[in-house]
Chain A
């Protein structure tokens, strides 16, 4: 699903302006006992250059390298990615407040570029609108 946000992010003028100094890599994890899923994202000057997915049935990541890790239950991410999430699920810090989201690693790029990272991780909401997610 996060594969679908590459063009959205890379062609969004506001996100590109906000993220022009962002060079990092992150792991986004959907915790799920039955079907855990992970995405490794690489960002160069605000451009998403890599989105790799690991899930049951795909090849395992081999020694994946990343600076930042965001992990939350799958159900929390799914609510967060709805076009209008329920209160308490509508922002990364809302998920933090509920202790549903853990954010670990090198926090500097994230905290110095919050508008970019929030926009990046909210991008799947736009896929929802076009029916590509939650179909």
Chain B
């Protein structure tokens, strides 16, 4: 059996630095640009790309951020620690979207991708026809010592996956749970930690939420009940400051809804996608 997913490599410059970025896509119609969680890669969207109900109307595209998955780190990567900032994150999304020639795509990102969804809604609403933030909050205070994610006395793959294992909803199907954790076990050294610099330090958007204008671009926020990194109350708190934000709390799901339990997730996602699709009919 061949899946309909096709993967290719894209060469482009992001903030003046040459990058080789891997992306996968499936389907036709409205471009839906998907961004994975910290320390993982685009495989988290494998089920969406295999879901005919979605790919009949959407061209689902997921790229591995530079340093992640099958995307390379830039030349000279060995000289510095990787560190994601809100500025570089926005820049790479706009650059990849432009390089692929996407016209007013819909955007969907999870966790750090949910946070950057808020930045895109604030800074570039005119570029997108709709923005979906999964597990999106405005800020997370550190609650464990991030140094352990890249430490010679602990195996990075085991530690990164061990840290996030409880973020998977307790009733997620075993195969999807462990596939999700496998992605974390495969991350490069320091990459998850570098992403969390954005998530927990640089990317605090609390003071700017009021500037998001959902009249310019609809904003949908979907959050799983069992996520303690971005718990439902944090999404609701962010939404309280964004007039017109459309919030869905997803019972039973955790921090990786599209990857940990795609069947349960699609019940919540399909109505949102129907609204986006319906708007262009």
Are A and B subunits of one complex? Answer: yes
Could you list which residues of chain A lie within 8 angstroms of chain B, going by C-beta atoms?
A: 84-85, 87-88, 90-94, 96-99, 107-108, 111-115, 118
> How many A-B contacts at CB < 8 Å in the complex?
62
B143 within 8 A of A: yes
B228 A87 Cβ-Cβ under 8 A: yes
Distance (Å) between the CB of A102 and the closest chain B CB? 11
Q: Are A87 and B231 in contact (CB under 8 A)?
A: yes
Measured between beta carbons, the chain B residues less than 8 angstroms from A98 are 228
Cα(A85)–Cα(B144), bound, Å? 21
B166 within 8 A of A: yes
- Decide if A114 touches B159 in the complex (CB within 8 Å): yes
The answer to whether A97 and B143 have CB atoms under 8 Å apart is: yes
B190 to chain A, nearest CB (A): 15
Contacts known (A84-B170, A98-B228, A112-B153); A91 close to B165, Cβ less than 8 A: yes
| Interface membership of B18, Cβ < 8 A | no
Interface string of B219-259 (1 = CB under 8 A from A): 00000011011010000000000000000000000000000
- CB of B159 within 8 A of CB of A91, answer no
B162–A114 CB distance below 8 A: yes
With A87-B228, A98-B228, A114-B159 known as contacts, the answer to whether A92 contacts B154 (CB < 8 A) is no
Report A112 CB to chain B, min CB distance, Å: 4
Shortest Cβ gap from A2 to chain B (Å): 20
CA distance A14 to B231 in the complex (A): 30
